[in-house]
Structure 1
Amino acid sequence: MSDLSVLARIDDPAFYNDPFEIYRRIRAEDPVLEYEPLKTWVLGKYKDVCAAARDPETFSNSGGIFLTDAVQGESVGDDYFGDQGELISSLDHPRHSEIRRVIAPAFSPKVIDEMEDSIRADCVALIDQIEPDVRVDWIASVAEKLPLIVIARLLGLPGDNLDELARWSDEIMKFGQVMSDEERAESIATFSAMNDYLINQLEAARKNRGNDVLSVLLSAEEQYDHITLANILALASTIVAGGNETTRALLGNMIWALIQHPEQLELLHTNPSLAQGAVVETLRWKGPVHGFIRKVMRPVSFRGKELQESDFVYLLYSCANRDEEIWEQPDQFLISRPLDTANLAFGVGPHRCPGNRLARLEARVLLEELVKKFPKWELADAPSHIESLFRNGFYDLPVVFRR
């Protein structure tokens, strides 16, 4: 085992607190790094991650997508979704394409862009509750609330159950961490409670169809033999979790990154049109997730390394998003970068997150309204960083906003 493989402790959540020197060495010295404890090959270069993600016949989602699946030797999603539910992110073509087509209309550019006015009103309402010069937990006050409000409206869920939706989505996101048997049993029980709630909401939607996602899913169930109630439940719960947790992390990471770089915050205040650039740069520099795994389906040579069937590859987004061959000064947070290269925060290829446009819209609009009201921000205390093999964000982010 090389010393780099020893240092790159990808199965230790604490490793991700400050991995960037090791990331640099992976890209420079061993971009297809063998991590023997997990029979996993770490891909650290942007083009390699893209190539693997776009080749599902060789690098399959079917063995699970979370690093914890490699750690535990099984796909943890099976315990939650069962044989019928089919976690969409663990499917390959053609089944993945069949399921994805069901939700595609709900996330089309036209549909998402038409949500901007309502999202802006949501952002203004949340920001208006922030008092200047007073400590506020940005995560609890805004970053957690906005995605839940938007997702509830998108799905057609009542807005009076947001706290429960938050708790349920947090349980789903525990897929990405190693759990004891007791913790997993508790998480599965909580997940079942969410499914019961969603079943009740689906039955209500059957009687009163609208333009929301639940109505779209019900129409698909009626139209296609290959779409079942278990499928639409799995899709709805995935949308709740993905729409909440990843966007919450983005909104927290964005504020933290700008506070850490006051010259970039001042640049944004001077030129608010850079809000989109700030969102994209946050996704590159500190994205919501570290990466995903794929299972090797056949022996393949990759950059001179011999990968064997049933090995795993780890698409390490947070490393590849700082690839020197793609971005100049990749460790610098610069909101005025050109937007012509897609970062990997939301994936690439057939499994690119269908809600990525919505998350970016929420973040941009929120930033535009926030910088308009509060040009000066500062940390009130050290934030609590999430230690996870999957998630990359904060439990809390104490901030003071000033005019």
Structure 2
Amino acid sequence: MEEVALADIDLSNPFLYRQGRWQEYFERVRNEAPVHFQAKSPFGPFWSVTRHADIVAVDKDHETFSAEPFIIIGEPPRFMDVAMFIAMDPPKHDRQRAAVQGVVAPKNLREMEGLIRSRVQEVLDDLPIGEPFNWVDRVSIELTARMLATLLDFPYEERRKLVEWSDLASSMEQANGGPSDNDEVFRGFVDAARGLSALWRDKEARLAAGEEPGFDLITMLQSNEDTKDLIDRPMEFLGNLTLLIVGGNDTTRNSMSGGVLALNRFPDQFEKLKANPDLIPNMVSEIIRWQTPLAYMRRVAKKDTMLNGQFIRKGDKLVMWYASGNRDERVFDRPDDLIIDRRNARNHISFGFGVHRCMGNRLAEMQLRILWEELLPRFDKIEVVDEPEYVQSNFVRGISRLMVQLTPKTDA
């Protein structure tokens, strides 16, 4: 790695993530060129912002750094040029986000907790004991699909469709280097547009017939002045619902898998957890830091500016590498280690900052907390029995396969 010239390091190379080589490159860039220019990436020229403090500064300054038109490093295919509020600046961003913010309001989260717990219990009770299985499919994807179906009031028996649509949206080669077939992505989006439009129309008809409004995302969008006609703006409709599905899928799902992997890599931490289950909430923050489910967000400079000694021109593309900021030695001691009682675990930047801070962060934390509260009394060992397989993407820090074997707790 040392022989690679600093200017040639391309942090957007998706294979760095699939091969698990990303940490060493980021460490070098953080130390030698914290605001690093890459002139010749497949996604065009861009600046990498790699230190925690600089990332926070960019993320909080929407006056200087715009989220429009995309938050991914590349440009999606033309048919996927959809509008979503995460890639809008205020005031439009604020109006559209406000329409759905209520679904994760504290009161609503408290009401959801019992439902989430019962679903976690159902999934865990159904797991095979003493034989290897893919944790990603049986636990992480299944629990995420159930939650998404609830949030959208989507037909429960078709819940896996939501995960499929999310995976297609976040695996486009032009956007983030994932292996993808544009024809397959297009067909998937036609299917998603059809399914989500039918869901919207069905909800509209039920409300018109006198059904009580629910606390789901579709009802909230229909009940808000700024978004009640969203279906008449097809690219915005599809964009915002895709955003809500991807947001509800990737963070939680990859942290559910990443936590199991991390506790296998650091077995002393699993012993510490078993001895003190009160550490679960802090551990959840530490897992989200260690995994960093979405590696970055992109911004575009609205004007000439300076950032940590570098001159950034108006129109330049910047990538805030959350995955790097969460491993910044200036903020986190032994940053590559999982330390479940880490004092500043909540200082992670996986959810972003400022107006674009992840709307569902409390819901994600609650799902992970409940999962571990239910896992600990059931299983003495959750053993990873094979090397994990990672998603090929510079955006989603995902695990596609994690073979585990469970040993149940025995009453002593």
Identity value in percent: 27
What root-mean-square deviation, in Å, do the aligned CA atoms of Structure 1 and Structure 2 show? 1.9
How far apart, in 2, do the equivalents of 1:255 and 1:94 lie? 40
Structure 1 match to 2:50: 44
> Where does 1:1-400 land on structure 2 (aligned, <5 Å)?
3-6=5-8, 8-16=9-17, 17-37=20-40, 38-67=44-73, 69=74, 75-76=75-76, 79-82=79-82, 86-175=83-172, 176-178=175-177, 183-209=181-207, 210-211=213-214, 212-220=216-224, 223-224=225-226, 227-229=229-231, 230=233, 231-339=236-344, 341-400=346-405
Structure 2 match to 1:72: none
How far apart, in 2, do the equivalents of 1:256 and 1:41 lie? 31
Shift of 1:237: 2.5
Shift of 1:379: 1.4
Shift of 1:382: 1.6
- Residue identity matched to 2:177: V
C-alpha contact 1:217 1:232 (8 A) present in aligned 2: no
CA shift in 2, pair 1:43/1:204, >3 Å:
same
How far apart, in 1, do the equivalents of 2:80 and 2:22 lie? 31
C-alpha contact 2:148 2:162 (8 A) present in aligned 1: no
- Residue identity matched to 1:330: P
- Residue identity matched to 2:67: N
**After the TM superposition, which of the residue ranges 87-96 and 332-341 deviates more from structure 2?**
332-341
Shift of 1:332: 1.7
CA shift in 2, pair 1:390/1:340, >3 Å:
closer
Shift of 1:227: 5.0
C-alpha contact 1:54 1:349 (8 A) present in aligned 2: yes
What per-residue deviation string (whole Å, max 9, x for no partner) do you get for residues 223-254 of structure 1? 33785213444322221222122221111111
C-alpha contact 1:60 1:296 (8 A) present in aligned 2: yes
Find the residue that maps to 1:144 and give its secondary structure: helix
Q: TM-score when scaled to structure 1?
A: 0.91
How far apart, in 2, do the equivalents of 1:318 and 1:390 lie? 10
Shift of 1:109: 2.1
Unaligned residue ranges in structure 1 (runs of 5+): 70-74
How far apart, in 2, do the equivalents of 1:87 and 1:225 lie? 12
Shift of 1:22: 2.2
How far apart, in 2, do the equivalents of 1:81 and 1:110 lie? 35
- Residue identity matched to 1:76: P
C-alpha contact 1:243 1:355 (8 A) present in aligned 2: yes
How far apart, in 2, do the equivalents of 1:80 and 1:35 lie? 26
C-alpha contact 2:203 2:219 (8 A) present in aligned 1: yes
Find the residue that maps to 1:376 and give its secondary structure: strand
Shift of 1:77: 7.2
- Residue identity matched to 1:53: D
C-alpha contact 1:195 1:237 (8 A) present in aligned 2: no
Paired residues, what number?
Answer: 389
C-alpha contact 2:294 2:397 (8 A) present in aligned 1: yes
How far apart, in 1, do the equivalents of 2:107 and 2:402 lie? 33
Structure 1 match to 2:210: none
Shift of 1:178: 3.4
C-alpha contact 1:119 1:150 (8 A) present in aligned 2: yes
What per-residue deviation string (whole Å, max 9, x for no partner) do you get for residues 325-358 of structure 1? 2122222210001257431112111111111111
How far apart, in 2, do the equivalents of 1:65 and 1:122 lie? 32
CA shift in 2, pair 1:377/1:266, >3 Å:
same
CA shift in 2, pair 1:340/1:260, >3 Å:
closer
How far apart, in 2, do the equivalents of 1:45 and 1:79 lie? 35
How far apart, in 1, do the equivalents of 2:365 and 2:152 lie? 18
